[in-house]
Structure 1
Amino acid sequence: MPEGDTVFLAGHRLADALTGRVLLRGQLRHPRFATADLAGREVLGVRSVGKHLFTRFSGDLSLHSHFRMDGAWHLYRPGERWRRPGHQARAVFEVPDRQAIGFALHDLELLPTADEHRLVGHLGPDLLADDWDEAAEAEAVRGLVAEPERELGLALLDQRVLAGVGNLYKAEVCFLLGVSPWSPVSAVDPVETVRLCRRLLLANAWRPEQSTTGSLRRGQQHWVFERTGRPCARCGTRVRVGGQGAGVLERVAYWCPRCQPGPIA
């Protein structure tokens, strides 16, 4: 599932291409929106909240989209060939010089702009919010320590605690804190943890490449994430992998048994 920084960047690229423009074409290719036509509406802006995007239109209307595992927004010039098959397109927006195509957007909803909170009001503080401040940090810390015995990896993925952390940052934050993903929240400094999450997302928010090591070279971007059976980027010990969580919430967990002491699956 895309991380919050991926959604943040997609939102800013959409905003740059569409804000202040009137749609020549505004199709939503989903049976629920068979009668919806956004052509003729002005795009007022695009807002990201964690992993959620809201595209705002004139007439107090917003389109909510969520990437889930494989969704994405692409931008094209008129006549440019799409990089994904047309049958995956769920939203097609066009202005005179750009096309914005939403592929595999499993969650789409049209709603009054004033009601956006209905879909994101349950989320914890957005780590990439423009108005992040001490109060937001304190709220995030409170959410994190509310269940001190909860597995840290699961707490980090809980969007009700922190909005924006996905499996990549879960793995890398646990590594940088020196604990296994199954260690309890009480094993780490919650303020340091929240600040580390925000710092990593901010470092990658304005580029498609994601690095937690400081290197953008292929194979050197992450300490343990997706390095199953390969050496830890710090100590060379073989990285291990296991499942964390249950049912639909289960995610892959990566860790270095030397750099990250603590309980394991």
Structure 2
Amino acid sequence: MPEGDTIFRSARTLHKALAGTIVTGFVTEFAQLAAVHDNTPVTGRTIEQVESRGKWLLIHFSGDLILVTHMLMSGSWHIYRRGERWRRGRSHMRVLLANETYEAIAFDVPVARFYTSRTLARNSAIPRLGPDPLRADFSAGDAAARIAAHPQEEIANVLLNQQVIAGLGNVFKSEVCFVCGLSPFARVHELSPDQVAALLAAAERLMNINVSDAASGGVITYTGARRTRNVSDAGARLWVYGRRGQACRRCGATILMRKQGSAARSTYWCPQCQPLPVPKAQPIAGWSTPILRRKVGC
């Protein structure tokens, strides 16, 4: 499923293939995109930049035109050399961008819209996105403050909130909580500042290892499966996600899965490695009782 790392890699590949080139072909199944193309053609424009912002992918054209797409659960961008056979059928094509060398195809992308810089700032969710762990300007301090603004919510739900931290989805949410030994059902007010900092450091580290690029400049799409463990066995690449009923790789307990939040998103965790926080002791009247916290780190 597309999360921030997938979109980042797609944007990087599209940028290598398209940036600085002139659009020679544009086809779309979206009426709004087609109407813009009819009135102010996309063909003949220069593609200036392709970037990711969380789970959104933005293609910037000359003349202040920006194509914004969101993959949701099933969409994907592919890049082909002109004349190369597509790996998906024509019926799945939603947007086609071509230059003299490549064709970029958006397959089954459910959200696609043109903006100008002004309308993007005023009429889209993108300016409200939280800090993105894959961007050079990622601010863990800003992200921590945004998390703290949701004290009564369960931490896994907060990590999915794109206005708190951009790019995390179900996989990274579950994996980050496991790596840090924190229950995904702990409420934000139950976590210490150090624990929140550890979650953010883990999110930044795990997402970045999934976008490493050893290529020397060619148009190469990352095809490896998402991983959060440094192992050579492809079947052991994740700690808990998708492993309900299997043994925890750390302690041997059985991995559990529960639907969480109003959207009923799947959350995987180890009940032994990730216990719920111990309730804070309430002091007896007239006594001064220290609060004991269990330290959990990545």
How many angstroms does 1:215 deviate by? 1.9
SS of the residue 2:236 aligns to: coil
Q: Which residue matches 2:252?
A: 236
Match 1:251 to one of 265, 271, 280? 265
Q: Which residue matches 2:3?
A: 3
Contact 1:151 1:185 in 2 (8 A): yes
1:23-82 deviations in Å (ceiling 9; x for gaps): 110222212233324211110011211011110001111000001011110011122221
* Aligned residue type for 2:242: E
Greater displacement, 211-220 / 112-121: 112-121
SS of the residue 2:248 aligns to: coil
1:52 matches 2:60: no
Q: Which residue matches 1:95?
A: 99
How many angstroms does 1:93 deviate by? 0.8
1:108-151 deviations in Å (ceiling 9; x for gaps): 1111134433421111111111223xxx2211110011122310
* Aligned residue type for 1:7: I
Q: Cα gap change, 1:128/1:74 in structure 2, threshold over 3 Å: closer, same or farther? A: same
After superposition, residues 173-188 of structure 1 pair within 5 angstroms as 173-188=176-191
Q: Which residue matches 1:126?
A: 132
Match 2:84 to one of 67, 80, 83? 80
Q: Which residue matches 2:69?
A: 65
Give the distance between the partners of 2:120 and 2:52, measured in 1 at CA.
Answer: 11
Match 1:151 to one of 136, 150, 154? 154
Q: Which residue matches 1:14?
A: 14
Q: Which residue matches 1:29?
A: 29
Q: Based on CA coordinates, which of the two structures has the bigger radius of gyration?
A: 2
Contact 1:27 1:38 in 2 (8 A): no
Give the distance between the partners of 1:34 and 1:66, measured in 2 at CA.
Answer: 18
Q: Identity rate of aligned residues, in percent? A: 36
Give the distance between the partners of 1:54 and 1:88, measured in 2 at CA.
Answer: 20
SS of the residue 2:203 aligns to: helix
SS of the residue 2:234 aligns to: coil
Give the distance between the partners of 1:28 and 1:216, measured in 2 at CA.
Answer: 41
* Aligned residue type for 1:262: L
How many angstroms does 1:180 deviate by? 2.1
How many angstroms does 1:194 deviate by? 1.3
Give the distance between the partners of 1:153 and 1:31, measured in 2 at CA.
Answer: 37
Give the distance between the partners of 1:170 and 1:8, measured in 2 at CA.
Answer: 17
Match 1:191 to one of 197, 212, 219? 197
List alignment gaps of at least 5 residues for structure 1.
none
Give the distance between the partners of 2:120 and 2:251, measured in 1 at CA.
Answer: 46
TM-score, normalised to structure 1, is 0.92
Q: How many residues align?
A: 258
Contact 1:224 1:255 in 2 (8 A): yes
Greater displacement, 202-211 / 8-17: 202-211
TM-score, normalised to structure 2, is 0.82
Give the distance between the partners of 1:166 and 1:39, measured in 2 at CA.
Answer: 35
Q: Which residue matches 1:168?
A: 171
Contact 1:126 1:162 in 2 (8 A): yes
Q: Cα gap change, 1:62/1:104 in structure 2, threshold over 3 Å: closer, same or farther? A: same
How many angstroms does 1:165 deviate by? 0.7
SS of the residue 2:66 aligns to: strand
How many angstroms does 1:216 deviate by? 4.5
Give the distance between the partners of 2:23 and 2:118, measured in 1 at CA.
Answer: 21
Q: Cα gap change, 1:38/1:216 in structure 2, threshold over 3 Å: closer, same or farther? A: farther
SS of the residue 1:175 aligns to: helix
Q: Which residue matches 1:40?
A: 44
Contact 1:20 1:44 in 2 (8 A): yes
